[in-house]
């Protein structure tokens, strides 16, 4: 497969590049001119707003993995840039379709769903409450209405080496290593955390099988923030310096995937939470 990847230098994109190359696919990445070259990858100059269309046509991709979007912790949920990424993505993916591309797999988000206490199936009610989720959901609807041949991957909570240091697991590791208190405002918030290499394997499986429709990318297992902090402390052999402040209401207290549809494609997670956190710990404290 000749695969075009956007967001190739991001956390998800880099993992997917590694997985695609390991599986023998030919890969091109949309890269800004000042980006560092990626080994084994054809560079396509430009970005979503101004791609080098002749270079894309010359590469002639069979499929596109669209992972580019704002993802800065503390900013991405409500950033006005979400509207720009929506508009850029719509134009870019429509442009690929007009140039003969037959399939795109686009990253959505689990918070497109309305909150509920049960594992979320792909047909669960939607209720995107943040600008990030609203723009993702709007993009899916518009692409479908325009006849784009589409897979829509709703990501749950990826973690692992290479993640932004402000993300939950890495921030807890740093605090534990420095023997600082770990202040939890939502200690019982339950999420579906999935190791980054398992995310990449799931997305490549969907791409290779040209999955069409909505697909949850999650493990089906919920874990609390308190459990993650305690597990990291145990791995590091440090006391769990967990401090629970006045609990802040979590608008999404339980976000867990029903991965049955993904299982039908033959995918299963290979990395348990304990093993994944241990790998992340070794990344910072070898």
List the chain domain ranges: 2-159+193-220+256-270
What's the CA dihedral at 200, 203, 204, 210 to 10 degrees? 180
CA nearest to 69, candidates 117, 3, 20, 140: 140
Q: Please name the residue ranges forming H helices in the chain.
A: 11-22, 53-59, 81-98, 131-145, 168-177, 196-208, 225-236, 260-264, 273-284
Q: What are phi and psi of 28, to 5 degrees?
A: -120, 150
Q: Please give the Cα distance from 76 to 251 (Å, whole number).
A: 16
How crowded is residue 171: how many other Cβ atoms within 10 Å of its Cβ?
A: 15
Q: Please give the Cα distance from 219 to 272 (Å, whole number).
A: 9
Q: What is the pLDDT of residues 2-49, one digit of tens each?
A: 999 999 999 999 999 999 999 999 999 999 888 888 999 999 999 999
The pLDDT score that the predictor gives to residue 246 is: 72
Give this prediction's pTM. Answer: 0.96
Q: Please give the Cα distance from 111 to 255 (Å, whole number).
A: 8
| Of the options 3.30.930.10, 3.40.190.10, 3.40.50.720, 1.10.10.10, the CATH number for the domain spanning 2-159+193-220+256-270 | 3.40.50.720
The pLDDT score that the predictor gives to residue 240 is: 79
Give the pLDDT band (50/70/90) at residue 243.
confident
Residue 197 · residue 160 · CB < 8 Å: yes
pLDDT at 285 over 80: no
pLDDT at 286 over 70: no
Q: What are phi and psi of 98, to 5 degrees?
A: -65, -25
């Amino acid at each position: 497969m000749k695969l075009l990847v956007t967001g190739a230098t991001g956390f998800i994109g880099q993992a997917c590049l590694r997985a695609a190359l390991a599986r023998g696919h030919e890969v091109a990445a949309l890269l800004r001119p000042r980006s560092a070259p990626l080994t084994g990858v054809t560079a396509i100059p430009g970005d979503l707003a101004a791609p080098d269309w002749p270079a894309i046509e010359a590469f002639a991709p069979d499929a596109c993995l669209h992972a580019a979007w704002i993802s800065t912790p503390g900013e991405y949920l409500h950033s006005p840039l979400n509207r720009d990424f929506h508009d850029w993505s719509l134009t870019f993916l429509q442009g690929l379709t007009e140039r003969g591309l037959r399939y795109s797999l686009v990253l959505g988000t689990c918070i497109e769903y309305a909150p509920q206490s049960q594992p979320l199936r792909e047909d669960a009610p939607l209720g995107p409450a943040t600008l990030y989720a609203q723009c993702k959901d709007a993009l899916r609807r518009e692409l479908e209405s325009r006849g784009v041949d589409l897979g829509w991957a709703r990501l749950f909570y990826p973690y692992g080496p290479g993640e932004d240091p402000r993300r939950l697991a890495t921030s807890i590791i740093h605090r534990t290593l420095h023997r600082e208190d770990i202040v939890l405002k939502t200690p019982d918030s339950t999420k579906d955390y999935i190791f980054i290499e398992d995310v990449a394997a799931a997305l490549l499986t969907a791409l290779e099988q040209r999955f069409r429709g909505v697909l949850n990318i999650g493990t089906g297992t919920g874990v609390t923030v308190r459990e993650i902090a305690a597990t990291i402390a145990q791995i590091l052999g440090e006391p769990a310096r967990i401090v629970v402040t006045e609990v802040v209401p979590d608008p999404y207290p339980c976000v867990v995937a029903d991965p049955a549809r993904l299982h039908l494609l033959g995918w299963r997670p290979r990395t348990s939470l304990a093993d994944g956190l241990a790998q992340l710990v070794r990344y910072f404290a070898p």
